[in-house]
Amino acid sequence: MSQVAFLFPGQGAQHVGMGVKIAEAYPAAKALFDQASDILGYNLLELCANGPEEKLNATNISQPALYVSSLASLELVKDRQPELLEQCQIAAGLSLGEYTALAFAGALSFEDGLRVVKARGEAMQAAAEATPSGMVSILLLDEEKITGLCEQVSDAGLLQIANYLCPGNIVVSGDKAACEKVVPLAEENGGRPIPLKVAGAFHTPIMQSATEKLAAALESVEIQPSRLPVVSNVDAQPHHDAAEIRDILVKQVVHPVLWEKSMRTLLDSGVDHFCEIGPGAVLKGLMKRISRKTPFDNFNDDAV
């Protein structure tokens, strides 16, 4: 029997139209969107269906939208390949996706998870608005070279590695001026810099003000020991314990995302089949750079 891992996408995977086909095809998925709308105070499915794109891309909107759309995509798995649910041994999610993974694993109820994600998105949006900042994906350069580039622009402000995604794909995050200054430097050193359309410098100390609001939101909900382990972005290790999960989720906001290391943890544990549950195919693209031959399936609107 295959050792299956479910992976859940993070911010950046959102797009206008996500979740619509699945909600139309599966009443249980539509019910999640309806329940979410009651909690959020706006029609989430209508926003996912029609946008506008700039509103859907806002941190306080995109995070709840991805959380709900991804959990709704599980209905497609139940219908098409229910055996994968039985074979799934472990889960992980990229940044925001870690909350989706924890809800899937039973550590958080759907409702409580959504309330925390709503608070997280709002707190991160506020922190971003307080400090002009951003993120830049740098392709084709290694960690050592990118660390050196961050040091070279330190006179312009904070800049540090925020996401270790896969070989040749590292994201830096920091003050806006430093982000702007690193782009030509990366090009001069043979890299391909891509400024990201995000509100601010996620996974850096610039998000520190968001941690208090997030910690309060996490304290207000019940977290259960998960029924299967969820690999954390913070330490790339699997976790079951409720207290550990609560602590790690607060740290995650200001800590780099160790995605490549997390995927290698899964591979080393014996995982031989990955499933990306939710909008887009970002995680599949990253896995191709980490372990090209490992089977990988996507469950999203395109598969309906």
The number of residues in the chain equals 304
Is the peptide bond prior to 64 cis by the omega test (within 30 degrees of 0)? no
Active site residue 70: no
CA angle at 31 for the pair 89 and 43, rounded to the nearest 5°: 115
Of residues 62, 73, 133, 203, which has the active-site annotation? 203
Q: Which two tokens stand for residue 28?
A: 């249980």
Of residues 70, 95, 133, 173, which has the active-site annotation? 95
Active site residue 255: no
Round to whole Å and give the CA distance between 125 and 171. 19
Distances (CA, A) of 280 to 11, 100, 276, 300: 11, 15, 9, 7
Round to whole Å and give the CA distance between 205 and 230. 24
Round to whole Å and give the CA distance between 188 and 232. 35
- Residues annotated as part of the active site: 95, 203
